[in-house]
Structure 1
Amino acid sequence: MKCRHFFTTAALAALCPLTAHAVPDKGKPELTAQTMRSGGPINPEQASLRFDHADLAFEVFPDSETIKGVATLDFTATGSLNRLLIDLDRNLPVSAVSINGKALRPAAWTNPEGKLAITLPRHIAKGGTIRAKITYGGTPHVAVRAPWDDGMVWARTPDGQPWIATTAEGYGCDLFWPCLDFPTGEPGSVDLHITVPAGLKAPSNGVLKGVDTLPDGRTRWNWHAKHPNTYAIALNIGPYKELHATYHSRYGNDIPLYYWYLPGEEEAAKDLFAEFAPTLDFYESKIGPYPFGDEKMGVVHTPYLGMEHQTINGYGNHYKKTPSGFDEIFQHEFGHEWFANQLTAANWDDYWLHEGFEEYMQPLYGLWLQGQARYDAMMLDQRNRIVNKVPMVRGRVITEEEVYEAKDGGPGQDIYFKGAWMLHTLRNLIGDKDFYAATRLEVYGRPDPKPGNFTPRYGSTDEFVRNVNRVTGKDYGWFFNVYLKQAALPELQQHRGNGRLDLSWKVPGGGPFPMPVEVQAGDRFETVPMTDGHGSIAVPDDAHIVLDPHARILKVEPAVEAAKAWEAEQQQ
């Protein structure tokens, strides 16, 4: 989800704004603990709301680095309510509220810590509807190091024009609009109206319904999006130029392709745009139909590395060329349209469903483009980044930062790299056909997705385990119990003597682990079943033995651990 991907200091340095310009201090105005919290246990009053629609009108003022907003939010009560709780950063003070057309006095609402509490003018019974119109504005929080943290990014293009973007995955949507800041708080649809200074454009989510020119020369960009992920609603403002094409999908539908780029980037932009169609075809061939084909496949150049904003992915990778033959940031963010925007984890504890799958789609794309050697090289690079300090899934409702941030006790980068290696191991265990069938079920909720017969959905780890079991006809709970619910990796132990090789698995938690193991003995390859976690085969005493010679199993690798220990020593 975020590709708040993990990069080197040199890569980070390349992300600085192109020209200096007076901006509010990064990290200011300061956020409350409530606003910095995204997800976690849901307040019962907020859980009693179905979010039907949001109409969001923004005015963006680059010179003062402020925004004004009017949010009209439609809810259906799924329980009885006397007040409405909405997440909104207190740095954007509310100036007016109306409920179902009735204006409220200021005493009817309060927002001391970032959870706006509105006393309803009358009790709302289960099944009742609420239309809340909230007028607000101020100085939004400025990101310190987007996209690794969140907020507004106020930058300037090389010729000094405003270049503005938002990120909100970690701290949440309440940084710039009133929302339900948890994964299942997605509105059924959103209309966006973004007013910007003359000469600037505002590409955003969904379908462009029109551009209005106001009497003062400013323009208002009107967009409509269905089922948007809350943190994937994005503002992008700049003097953009546009590339556009139509892609005819293998599923028979036509998909609009758009890339908004900065003036002066024409040749590099065309090179990146040329990657859109093959990348789209790869995902459709392996996973299924592009989820938002009736809206667009959209990408916009942002003053930060990248983010998976639904149908308007942020891209800022400086058109980097890599031996893999594709732009890995573009490919990663675009793949989140399936793994984050179509399939959204209902609980951040299942965050690996977004990042583990998408990280694994990169070497799979390398395999698709260049073959096995590229896949192997990319997988080995990922293997060296696995940490194994915290289980990837902890079995409770937690916030985004509690998963993403190692300093907050989370698995951190393991949701990317360990998640990818777990999926690599699973694919080699159950085979391509079953692997992709289970993935398709998880993404679309059905085995036969076609344009028009599915909508974005919520998923979970437990559901994916059930899908694997359903497709294979076997129980793979033992597999996921080790890789997802334990921090340490399984260890393959061996003993040789009297013409035999004896193997056994030692796994954290001590449960079953019947993972078959391929063995190379001289020029012979043989798979040992390991039915009860143990196996034995006859081998000549003088045979050279290699266990798991094609590196198909995520397990303890002494050489990797020794290298990481040595690197840590050098850093100290």
Structure 2
Amino acid sequence: MKISVLTGILIALSAFTALDASDGYPVDKGINVLHYTFTINLEDTTDRIDVVSELTILMTLKTRILGLDLTGLNDKGKGMIISDVLLRDQKLPFSHLNNRISITLPDSLSVPGEFKIRIHYSGIPADGLIISKNKFGDRTFFGDNWPDRARNWLACVDHPSDKATVEFIVKAPGHYKVVGVGYLAGEYAFEPLNPVGKYRVTRWREDVDIPTKVMVIGLADFAWETSGFSKGVPVQTWVYSEDRLEGFTDYQPGADILTFFQDLIGPYSYEKLANVQSKTIYGGMENSSCIFYYEGSVNGKSKMHSLLAHEIAHQWFGDAVTEKDWHHVWISEGFATYLEAVYADSLIPGRSLAKSMEEMREQVIISYKRDPKPVIDTTITNYMELLSTNSYQKGAWVLHMLRQELGEDTFWKGIRQFYMEYQNKNALSSDFCRVMEEVSGLPLRKFFHQWLEVAGQPDLSWSWDYDAKNNSITIDLTQNGSGEPFAFKLPVRITNETGSAVMNTTPPVTERQTRITFPVDFKPSAVVLDPEVTLLFTQSLVVR
């Protein structure tokens, strides 16, 4: 069945709308946070933190109410209580309800113009800043913001669309070492007038715009070293002091992996890269220039290559190029998953790209049977649900199939162009589609529509028949299902009994029913669909 003109128009419009979909966050288009300075006091005697958040804001449209995110006090006594909000020395009226701060701005502010707001608050973080003990029983502090958990300890615009530079000024007992995003801007001993013990003030500053999901600090009894350099970028290892020998070995590949991706994609955005043993709730968390790994990742077995590659790949996609909308998180997770597989194909023995993609295909198929949803699923409101096979493995498959569609050189040229255009900015799926269309000269909206917005993948029933009289082979294909049929190129390999004769062809498939007939100059004994693992699909061979 051919797609009617009207149906084609509706698909194109649907693709444009969903590829630009909004997650519903109340974005104030007249407000842009340029810089955060978080001054944080931490203690050993209490989990209560004292914070001053100073925001440098550019206002481009007249705004009466400034809205920010900060989790308030809950029924367990955790959360933040605001003591005051200041514009210079002027106290501003505010409300703090439903984890949102609403600040009334004076009419005197210029438009366009910059101003600074200081918010003083304190409390025990309900989440976001993980205050706990590590596996050695030592007290630690680790920021763990993804997806929108920064608001539990940082007053901010807690959405990936508003990227800013940041500085952390941390006052803590002197036995802690502090690591953070960006570069070390200062460190000195601090002794209060009535000291219980000596304190240290540490400043970490990031001068590149990053989203709040990856703005973090970590405090522990760390041992650290510079393990190498990648095109002038220092690569550091930070591990618990008791794990020093194992950790320095396990995280050693970091510099080489960083160089691999710089050569493949483009220049690294940040001042350093620190690989950090931590208490993150995830296996790894791609904080900009300061990646946190789960504490059990250090074991002295030097088996960290894949996890390191995934999180370091995020420094390009997820951090430097950030999804503008949560529903487009595949730009982060799908890209990192695919780049991890590309790295493994090049440098990890036994981890071919075909093997990785075959494993991922099985995961996608199983996930679809359990929960048939598209990659861009605008029904999701709990963003933890985005940590799914769709965002990771199916997102990786979208890139893998695009690579086959465009060819090797054009695909990587497009990836580099996408990175160059959106480095340290935000992007949507529609932006990626546009860049790849411009680079390739091909219309790709249907490709992105069917693989990102439509649940599932082609489910093929097929058979083949050899006509000895006419020296031809016929393949009959049926796309099962009730929706619009997928459009794709189907790799086919035909061999004789001994394997000495091989014929490869890639016919286009666009209809519900497809019959393909072509000549062969040998008697075929086997027909294999997708022998190189380049198509996401399921199949069943019907024996005649």
Which TM-score tier does this pair reach, normalised by the shorter chain? 0.7 to 0.9
Counterpart of 2:119 in structure 1 is 134
Give the deviation of 1:429 after TM superposition: 2.8
Counterpart of 1:299 in structure 2 is 275
Q: What letter matches 2:309 in structure 1? A: Q
Deviations 1:131-167 (A, max 9, x none): 111000101014xxxxxxxx23222245543122121
Deviations 1:80-115 (A, max 9, x none): 1122211111121101111133124xxx11112111
Cα distance between partner residues in 2 of 1:169 and 1:289? 25
State whether residues 80 and 123 of structure 1, in contact with CA within 8 Å, keep that contact through their aligned partners in structure 2.
no
Q: Which of these two proteins has the greater Rg computed from alpha carbons?
A: 2
Cα distance between partner residues in 2 of 1:322 and 1:516? 45
Counterpart of 2:144 in structure 1 is 167
1:96 aligned to 2:84?
yes
Cα distance between partner residues in 1 of 2:419 and 2:382? 24
- Residue 436 of structure 1: SS of its match in structure 2? helix
Give the deviation of 1:511 after TM superposition: 5.1
- Residue 208 of structure 1: SS of its match in structure 2? strand
State whether residues 291 and 311 of structure 2, in contact with CA within 8 Å, keep that contact through their aligned partners in structure 1.
yes
- Residue 550 of structure 1: SS of its match in structure 2? coil
Counterpart of 2:434 in structure 1 is 466
1:222 aligned to 2:181?
no
Q: What letter matches 1:93 in structure 2? A: I
Cα distance between partner residues in 1 of 2:254 and 2:335? 20
Superposition RMSD on alpha carbons, in Å? Answer: 2.6
Alignment of 1:36-435 (within 5 A): 40-43=23-26, 46-90=28-72, 91-104=79-92, 108-142=93-127, 151-157=128-134, 159-187=136-164, 189-215=165-191, 216=195, 217-225=198-206, 226-249=208-231, 254-292=232-270, 295-304=271-280, 305-316=283-294, 318-319=296-297, 326-370=304-348, 374-386=352-364, 387-388=367-368, 389-394=372-377, 401-402=382-383, 404-405=384-385, 412-435=388-411
Cα distance between partner residues in 1 of 2:313 and 2:54? 31
Deviations 1:3-47 (A, max 9, x none): xxxxxxxxxxxxxxxxxxxxxxxxxxxxxxxxxxxx932436x33
- Residue 64 of structure 1: SS of its match in structure 2? coil
Give the deviation of 1:336 after TM superposition: 0.8
- Residue 148 of structure 2: SS of its match in structure 1? coil
State whether residues 130 and 143 of structure 2, in contact with CA within 8 Å, keep that contact through their aligned partners in structure 1.
yes
Q: What letter matches 1:228 in structure 2? A: I
Give the deviation of 1:542 after TM superposition: 5.7
TM-score w.r.t. length of structure 1: 0.79
Q: What letter matches 2:442 in structure 1? A: K
Where in structure 2 are there 5+ consecutive unaligned residues?
1-21, 73-78, 468-472
Give the deviation of 1:168 after TM superposition: 1.4
Counterpart of 1:552 in structure 2 is 534
Q: What letter matches 1:141 in structure 2? A: A
State whether residues 393 and 484 of structure 1, in contact with CA within 8 Å, keep that contact through their aligned partners in structure 2.
yes
State whether residues 168 and 217 of structure 2, in contact with CA within 8 Å, keep that contact through their aligned partners in structure 1.
no
Q: What is the percentage of aligned positions where both structures have the same residue?
A: 20
Number of matched residues? 487
State whether residues 111 and 117 of structure 1, in contact with CA within 8 Å, keep that contact through their aligned partners in structure 2.
yes
State whether residues 212 and 220 of structure 1, in contact with CA within 8 Å, keep that contact through their aligned partners in structure 2.
yes
TM-score w.r.t. length of structure 2: 0.83
Cα distance between partner residues in 2 of 1:322 and 1:290? 28
- Residue 94 of structure 1: SS of its match in structure 2? strand
Deviations 1:495-514 (A, max 9, x none): 32352222446387425614
More moved, 95-104 vs 366-375? 366-375
For the structure 1 residues 133 and 290, does the alpha-carbon distance in structure 2 shift closer, same or farther, using more than 3 Å as the test? Answer: same
Deviations 1:398-424 (A, max 9, x none): 77735x41xxxx683211011112222
Q: What letter matches 2:375 in structure 1? A: M
- Residue 154 of structure 2: SS of its match in structure 1? coil
